[in-house]
């Protein structure tokens, strides 16, 4: 049976080479340590390449001149305590560096580093600032170094417009006394002045190539939506649209990449077609009443529009299937992209080049079995040259083997699932398995790098990630199939994925654990309660445990626009009165007496999405029923524990120990 199933289940990427090469068992430090290469970008003319390299003690910004033989280094910026985090070019000879600056005085940090053998800079809080410098890493100036903005802004490093026609200035957002302000900043002096201001909920102001305001975006966190305003000739802001976005698990949501300004000042953005249910690209011309269709795909979502990072020009759009792929308006540019895609293989990759450059592009690839690789692509020679790995150890030879498969749910619905097999996988054995439902629940998994999934795969477990109904990326009908289905249809789809793997002999059915974060944590709890025959244990990280309480929390957090958010919550989760029994019947905290399996519950004390009270309520109920569980509270941790080194390490350690106990031989 397994031989036949192997024909259906597509193993991809580095299976052959992974088996052939030496395998190194990765440690927790390997997963949480900083990458080697942080960022890389060519100047708009393609002459200078700037990149950030981590040498262990410092992050160095290095600039090379690719117009000279051997691409000699023109300058190096190095500091042991102030860390470079990202870079962008203001013009062909001026580089902007985003810095992470510790709150503690540098002199104090130096003393501690000299006297404390266990000194770790990651343990210190920091704020973000930016500097500008020339190609020799000289003539450095701090951008927006003003006491009023320094006090109000943890992050003064964002750039809203590089002003391609103005080599001297850029636009930067900053929080002022009354809200968001857009500052026009001189990249040679660092000084800035207020260009214009937003409203109380403004998150971004979009500008044209001349730096003039065109549209304003006001963000509503609980509904994960943006209200769009047009800036009129009368200097008034008029609402023109309200856009809802997919859900995820991060504390912050970046929607700015989903919209931009075209050559004629029109707004180009992704929006769902109400009739077809699929996302498409539309544009809205200032002063008009109608939106025009720019791009659509029959029966498929468009993932995102693409804009030139320097000029802001609309380039085309991205499609996400198993991988993300780009579709360009420029056929010549598309041909170059397709050539790189062929060489990169079955991986995601970013293709960074200014549309004004016909010389070179930076390419960063990443896949389910590697964190990333950087390349330089030469447009003239059409040669792709590898320049380094993002991480020294998170490479295919050491990581789980990715695969993908379609499986059939109990009612006949075809569903997509992504898998990781342990390194050195032996197909003659049945392995213990971890089921890892994604968060949201209205988001999705894909064939991309998942650090948590890979950590568990390297411990010797098969890891499966099903895109159950309710997931995004398959149209509105598929997403709506998961509305009001917490613990019901969405959970059945997860259960059917488990059955598929155990019936076909890939996983040992007596050694399966369900693990998840956010909604995935909820699915882990309700799965162990409703289908204990499928699992040996469950792990919930920042998971919802009481549906009515979570709805109330979301409503309270909204503060304004309550009616709109109420409608969304009631439609997607359930109405606390009309659906009262259904919500109670699917709230793990109210079903603790039915728990029959050991549980690990992990929660961050600063979670603003699923408050720690959700975990505490579950713990209290489990104690009352005298159930077998362990509770771990993560200090100074928000909703996503993997963005903090200490929290991620603690999660990896606790999960590893728990799985060894219950899924071991």
Q: What is the CATH number of domain 2-26+395-546+587-663?
A: 3.40.50.1820
For residue range 85-130, list pLDDT tens digits in order: 999 999 999 999 999 999 888 888 888 888 888 787 877 888 999 9
Q: Which of 284, 169, 188 is nearest to 231 (CA)?
A: 284
Contacts for 347 with CB less than 8 Å, ≥ 6 apart: 13, 323, 365, 366, 367, 370
Sign of CA dihedral 354, 356, 361, 363: positive
Q: What single DSSP character describes residue 664?
A: -
Q: What is the pLDDT of residue 208?
A: 87
3-class secondary structure, 388: strand
Tokens standing for 358? 């016909």
- Contact between 294 and 281 (Cβ < 8 Å): yes
Length of the chain: 665
d(CA 450, CA 369): 9
Task: For the chain, give every domain's residue range.
Answer: 2-26+395-546+587-663, 547-586
Would you say 517 and 439 are in contact if contact means Cβ atoms under 8 Å apart?
yes
Q: What is the pLDDT of residue 252?
A: 47
Using CA atoms, how far residue 46 sits from 64, 160, 374, in Å, is 11, 22, 16
Helix (H, G, I), strand (E, B) or coil at 661: helix
> What values do phi and psi take at 450, rounded to 5?
-125, 105
> Can you give the pLDDT at residue 199?
81
pLDDT score, position 309: 77
Q: Cα–Cα distance between 555 and 532 in angstroms, integer?
A: 33
Question: Is the Cα dihedral 264, 269, 273, 274 positive or negative?
Answer: negative
Predicted TM-score (pTM) of this structure? 0.87
What tokens appear for 50 in the block? 């700037």
What mean pLDDT value characterizes the chain? 89
**What are residue 230's DSSP bridge partners?**
215, 238
Pair of tokens at residue 659? 């799985």
Provide the sign of the torsion angle of the four alpha carbons 320, 324, 327, 328, taken in this order: positive
For 509, 532, 533, 654, the CA distances from 596, given in Å and listed in that order, are 17, 7, 10, 21
Q: How far apart are CA 524 and CA 491, in angstroms?
A: 9
Q: How many CB atoms lie within 10 A of CB 626?
A: 8
Nearest alpha-carbon partner for 394 in 22, 27, 41: 27
Residue 139 CA, chain-centre distance (Å), reads 35
CA separation (Å) from 142 to 8, 42, 59, 163, 452?
57, 22, 18, 19, 37
Helical (H) or strand (E) element with 227: strand 225-231
Q: Where are the alpha helices (DSSP H) in 296-440?
A: 331-344
Tell me which residues of the chain have a pLDDT lower than 70. 1-22, 221-224, 245-257, 353-358, 559-564, 665
Closest CA to 88 of 143, 7, 27, 34: 143
Beta-sheet pairing, 83-91 with 73-77 = unpaired
Task: Give the model confidence (pLDDT) of 282-323 as tens digits.
Answer: 999 888 878 899 999 998 899 999 988 777 789 999 998 898
d(CA 254, CA 274): 23
Smallest CA-to-CA distance from 353 within 45, 96, 613 is with 45
Alpha-carbon distances of 169 from 307, 340, 487, 499, 648, rounded to whole Å: 20, 34, 53, 59, 39
DSSP state for residue 450 in the 8-state scheme: -
pLDDT score at 130? 96
């Amino acid at each position: 049976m397994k031989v036949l199933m192997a024909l259906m289940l597509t193993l991809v990427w580095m299976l052959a080479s992974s088996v052939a090469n030496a395998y190194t068992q990765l440690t927790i430090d390997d997963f949480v340590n900083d990458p080697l290469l942080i960022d890389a970008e060519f100047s708009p003319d393609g002459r200078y390449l700037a990149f950030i390299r981590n040498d262990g003690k410092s992050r160095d910004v290095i600039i090379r001149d690719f117009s000279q033989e051997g691409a000699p280094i023109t300058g190096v910026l190095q500091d042991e305590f102030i860390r470079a985090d990202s870079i962008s070019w203001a013009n062909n000879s001026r580089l902007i560096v985003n810095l992470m600056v510790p709150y503690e005085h540098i002199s104090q940090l130096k003393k501690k580093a000299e006297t404390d053998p266990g000194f770790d800079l990651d343990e210190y809080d920091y704020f973000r600032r930016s500097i500008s410098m020339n190609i020799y890493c000289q003539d450095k100036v701090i951008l927006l170094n003003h006491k009023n903005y320094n006090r109000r802004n943890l992050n003064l490093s964002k750039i809203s417009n590089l002003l391609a026609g103005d080599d001297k200035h850029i636009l930067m957002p900053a929080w002022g006394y009354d809200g968001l302000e857009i500052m026009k900043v001189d990249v040679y002096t660092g000084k800035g002045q207020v260009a214009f201001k937003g409203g109380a909920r403004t998150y971004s102001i979009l500008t044209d190539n001349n730096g003039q305001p065109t549209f304003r975006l006001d963000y509503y966190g609980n509904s994960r939506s943006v209200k769009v305003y047009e800036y009129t000739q009368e200097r008034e802001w008029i609402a023109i649209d309200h856009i809802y976005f997919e859900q995820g698990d991060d504390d912050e949501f970046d929607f700015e990449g989903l919209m931009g300004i075209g050559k004629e000042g029109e707004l180009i953005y992704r929006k769902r077609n109400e009739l077809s249910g699929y996302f498409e690209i539309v544009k809205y011309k200032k002063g008009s009443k109608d939106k025009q269709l720019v791009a659509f795909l029959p029966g498929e979502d468009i993932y995102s529009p693409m804009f030139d990072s320097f000029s802001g020009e609309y380039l085309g759009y991205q499609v996400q299937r198993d991988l993300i792929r780009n579709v360009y308006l420029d056929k010549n540019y598309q041909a170059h992209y397709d050539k790189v895609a062929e060489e990169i293989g079955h991986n995601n990759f970013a293709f960074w080049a200014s549309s004004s450059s016909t010389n070179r592009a930076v390419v960063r690839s990443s896949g389910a079995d590697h964190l990333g690789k950087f390349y330089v692509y030469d447009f003239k020679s059409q040669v792709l040259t590898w320049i380094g790995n993002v991480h020294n150890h998170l490479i295919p030879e050491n990581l789980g083997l990715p695969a993908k498969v379609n499986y059939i749910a109990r009612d006949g619905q075809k569903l997509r699932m992504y898998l990781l097999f342990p390194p050195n996988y032996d197909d003659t054995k049945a392995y213990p398995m971890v089921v890892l439902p994604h968060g949201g629940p209205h988001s999705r998994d894909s064939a991309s790098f998942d650090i948590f999934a890979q950590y568990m795969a390297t411990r010797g477990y098969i890891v499966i990630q099903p895109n159950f109904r309710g997931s995004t990326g398959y149209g509105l009908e598929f997403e709506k199939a998961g509305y009001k289905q917490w613990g019901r249809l969405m959970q059945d789809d997860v259960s059917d994925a488990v059955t598929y793997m155990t019936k076909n002999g890939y996983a040992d059915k007596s050694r399966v654990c369900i693990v998840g974060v956010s909604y995935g944590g909820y699915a882990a709890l309700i799965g162990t309660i409703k289908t204990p025959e499928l699992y040996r244990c469950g792990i919930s990280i920042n998971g919802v445990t009481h549906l009515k309480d979570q709805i109330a929390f979301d409503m309270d957090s909204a503060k304004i626009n309550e009616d709109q958010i109420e409608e969304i919550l009631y439609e997607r989760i359930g109405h606390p009165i009309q659906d009262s029994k259904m919500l109670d019947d699917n709230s793990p905290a109210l079903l603790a007496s039915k728990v029959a399996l050991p549980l690990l519950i992990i929660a961050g004390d600063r979670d603003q999405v699923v408050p720690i009270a959700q975990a505490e309520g579950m713990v209290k109920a489990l104690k009352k029923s005298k159930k077998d569980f362990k509770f771990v509270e993560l200090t100074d941790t928000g909703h996503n524990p993997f963005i903090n080194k200490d929290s991620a390490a603690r999660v990896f350690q606790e999960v590893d120990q728990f799985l060894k106990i219950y899924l071991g031989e």
